[in-house]
Amino acid sequence: MEHQAVVAALHELDAAHAPAVARFDDGPPPADGFVVLPSAFNPPTRAHLGLLAVGSEATGLQPAAMLTTRNVAKGIHGASLPHRVGMLLAGHKAAPLIAVLVANVARFVDQAAALRETFTGSQIDFVAGYDTLVRIFDPGYYSNMDAELRTFFAAHRLVATNRAEASMEEVDRLVTSASVRPFASRIIVRELAPDMAAMSSTGARQAAPADAHDQHVPPAVADYIRVNRLYR
């Protein structure tokens, strides 16, 4: 997809009045469904690939990277949304199995509703690192957390992983806590390799001005950052 087409598609998605998801790669429909990683992808990192691989292994579903154009915790900074899609599409060329989706809503429960509407009949599961897991179970993001999460977990499984800021023990502790325990049967806990868990988009952005971002991001993404002089 050319840059101007990406810009137009993002504008159309942003103008939608209801929660919506669009697919930006040209891959075939999923055979069984997607395991989705919602993220800001600013930029897409090797850790994101690790999360998608863990999610796909745990669920048996095709991995999908889903850019969220709105964020419950922070605003848009760094690379523009069209460039984030461009980086994801560059990565897709190197790893065609990973679908590229974009959602116009921030909360997991709203993303899930839009995905069910878009991919009717397909199983949709999610993968999330510890920081996102904490937000999913934060009552501040809901008018009725229990009811909304019961609807979510009736249709979707969630693969939960560690990240640099949280060990597997902390993940297990959260999953067995009183507020999360009712949904524990729908949560699959998996460990992300330590080198992957330690990587972050912040680290990649900080390394880019010195052209030292290759260790943080896939090669195709590294080239895209370099050619487009992002994060300089």
Domain extents for the chain? 3-227
Q: Is 167 helix (H, G, I), strand (E, B) or coil?
A: coil
Which run of H or of E encompasses 124?
strand 123-128
Task: State mean pLDDT over 72-93.
Answer: 87
Map tokens 């992002």 to a residue. 230
Q: How much is the pLDDT for 175? A: 96
Residue 70, pLDDT score: 82
CA quadruple 64, 67, 70, 76: dihedral sign:
positive
Is residue 101 pLDDT above 80, yes or no?
Answer: yes
Section 7-29 average pLDDT: 95
Give the per-residue pLDDT at 163: 87
Task: Report the topology of domain 3-227.
Answer: Rossmann fold (3.40.50)
Is the per-residue pLDDT at 73 higher than 60? no
Task: Compute the distance between CA of residue 139 and CA of residue 198 in angstroms, rounded to an integer.
Answer: 28
Average pLDDT over residues 46-68: 97
**What pLDDT, on a 0 to 100 scale, did the predictor assign at position 190?**
97
**Residue type for 136, please?**
I
Strands of 166-211, DSSP E: 187-190
User: What is the pLDDT of the chain when averaged over all its residues?
Assistant: 94
On the question of pLDDT at 72 being above 70, the answer is no
* pLDDT recorded at residue 6: 96
